[in-house]
Amino acid sequence: MTSDLIRLTATEAVALLKQREVSPFELIDAAAERIAAVEPQVNALPTLCLDRARDHAKRLMAGERREAENERGWLAGLPIAIKDLADVAGVRTTYGSPIFRDHVPTTSHPLVERLERKGGIVIAKSNTPEFGAGGNTFNEVFGRTLNPWNTSLTCGGSTGGGAVALATGEIWLAQGSDHGGSLRGPATLCSVVGIRPSPGRVTRGTSNNLFSPLSVQGPMARNIPDLALALDAMAGPCPLDPLTFDAPATSFSDAVAEPPERLRIAFTANYGGALPVDRETRDICSRAVQGFEEAGYVVEEAFPELGPVDEVFLTLRSQHFVVERELQLRTHREQIKPDIIWNTERGLQQTPGQLAWAERERAALFRRFAAFFQRYDVLVTPGAATPAWDVRLRAREIIDGVKLDNYIAGSALTSAITLTSCPAVSVPCGFDRFGRPVGLQIVATPRGEARALQAAAVFERISGLDRLLPIDPRPGEVPPG
């Protein structure tokens, strides 16, 4: 029975919960058993809160905390994981930092409150790099999280714990965040799905960068219908986030259930050579996109000009770090990892003129993408520049023969989209010759999550790769090169 339950999709599990054919307690127990079996091999969910979860389940079963039962996105008692950057009341929350090693918040993040109001039951905190900074999930508090397709490899970052927990069947849905690709990258490297929503679609609540569109909150799942369900549970206005806005009239779940009659799809493997992307990754993605054509949709090779996106993103990201980390550098510098110190100090050294230049370039990039989406419904790219690499390395150093200047330079495929405020979905599209997952990134116009999800659902039906999950962790070696 436990094995059957962990193999349910989130949508299937919620349907059974609504029909009272399975109880939240049964799902909590199934998840706990699976976590005990696989956690020693992957280290995805270092903090559990099973007693708290069972208390929540008891209240739901008694008819309490069901005020959102008739709203879209009702989760009906589904166990979920929360990234260790978001507070959960009464549960150890470290942000991956030794500064907060023993921190236990008394209140929850507004998004956690929303998810619990929608019937989600928090059973665990998922691992993250320190303060969510980095494309490899490791920190000094909990150590490294390993890729279940090959435990010698990274799962990506920063929502790496959530991606691994989904791929191994420890959980049905996971919450995460995305700045330069922190939902999309791990989804790609672990063969699950994730969405970076438009800024304002999901509350960020407690961020000091409340007026910046760079960092967003969003969901991960094992398939696109589950991802749509999770986004329905998350979306909507929040009085603590000035960028939030109303959820759309049509739910995301309803949107993905109806394939679009027409789609004009633009595809680029590397923006005409502007970004370094592994050759085999380019080939796999190029072949995968042909599935859209076979389904009757128009696919053309086209892309908007990126301009100096690396420098623009790094400049604006560094300013973001100043807002979040400047005060901690003054008081706890010795406990903060070098990448964060470098990024913050770079921001402190920037001139007003450099920030003004970056803002002008971001505005120009946005206008180019807006014009591009007058012709195309979605833009498709590889979801990551390379498959997963050695988990002992903090970041990739060389991609397609290009030496990278810093730890975030390898994420340009995703960070470029961050600058545009466009939503983007990551969906699996295959495996390289070493069995490492490869994925697509499907981008739509701002606030066009439904269109991106629809396109991803079309592709998922063609590929069937979601049916490979969940998997048992697999040991392996680091591929050469």
pLDDT tens digits, 311-365: 999 999 999 999 999 999 999 999 999 999 999 999 999 999 999 999 999 999 9
Is the per-residue pLDDT at 2 higher than 80?
no
**Each residue of 67-123: pLDDT tens digit?**
999 999 999 999 999 999 999 999 999 999 999 999 999 999 999 999 999 999 999
pLDDT of residue 481: 78
Annotated active-site residue 83? The verdict is: yes
Q: How many CB atoms lie within 10 A of CB 98?
A: 17
Q: What is the DSSP letter of 128?
A: -
Q: Quick one: fold of 2-468?
A: Amidase signature (AS) enzymes (3.90.1300)
Q: Can you tell me whether residue 379 is helix, strand or coil?
A: strand
Contact 124, 173 (CB under 8 A): no
Query: Do strands 173-178 and 78-83 pair parallel, antiparallel, or not at all (unpaired)?
Result: parallel
User: Environment class of residue 431 by beta-carbon count within 10 Å: exposed (0-12), middle (13-18) or buried (19+)?
Assistant: middle
Per DSSP (E only), the strands in 100-180 are: 120-126, 138-139, 143-144, 173-178
Distance between first and last Cα of the chain? 43
Q: Write out pLDDT tens, residues 394-414.
A: 999 999 999 999 999 999 999
The 10s digit of each residue's pLDDT in 161-181 is: 999 999 999 999 999 999 999
**Catalytic residue selected from 108, 126, 158, 215:** 158
Helices and strands (DSSP H and E) totals, the chain: 15, 15
Judge whether 158 counts as a catalytic residue. yes
Mean pLDDT, residues 57-70: 97
In angstroms, rounded to a whole number, what is the distance separating the alpha carbons of residues 233 and 222? 16
**pLDDT range class, residue 3, cuts 50, 70, 90:** confident
Question: Tens digits of per-residue pLDDT, 267-307?
Answer: 999 999 999 999 999 999 999 999 999 999 999 999 999 99
Q: Answer yes or no: is pLDDT of 1 > 70.
A: no
pLDDT above 90 coverage of the chain, percent: 99
CA distance 188 to 172: 17
The DSSP code for 465 is: G
Token representation of residue 144: 């490294």
Q: Tell me how far CA of residue 436 lies from CA of 163, 297, 423, 430, in angstroms.
A: 14, 28, 25, 8
Phi, psi of 454 (to 5 degrees): -60, -45
Q: Over pLDDT 70: what percentage of the chain?
A: 100
**Mean per-residue pLDDT of the chain:** 98
The Cβ of residue 426 has, within 10 Å, a number of other Cβ atoms equal to 33
Catalytic residue among 182, 207, 318, 415: 182
The question of whether 182 is a catalytic residue gets the answer yes
Q: Where are the domains of the chain?
A: 2-468
pLDDT band at 237 (very low <50, low <70, confident <90, very high): very high
Residues 6+ away with beta carbon under 8 Å from 356:
none
For 252-269, how does the pLDDT look when each residue is reduced to its tens digit (9 = 90+)? 999 999 999 999 999 999
- Nearest 5 degrees, angle CA 47-CA 49-CA 50? 130
**Whether pTM exceeds 0.85:** yes
Tokens found for residue 219? 């969901």
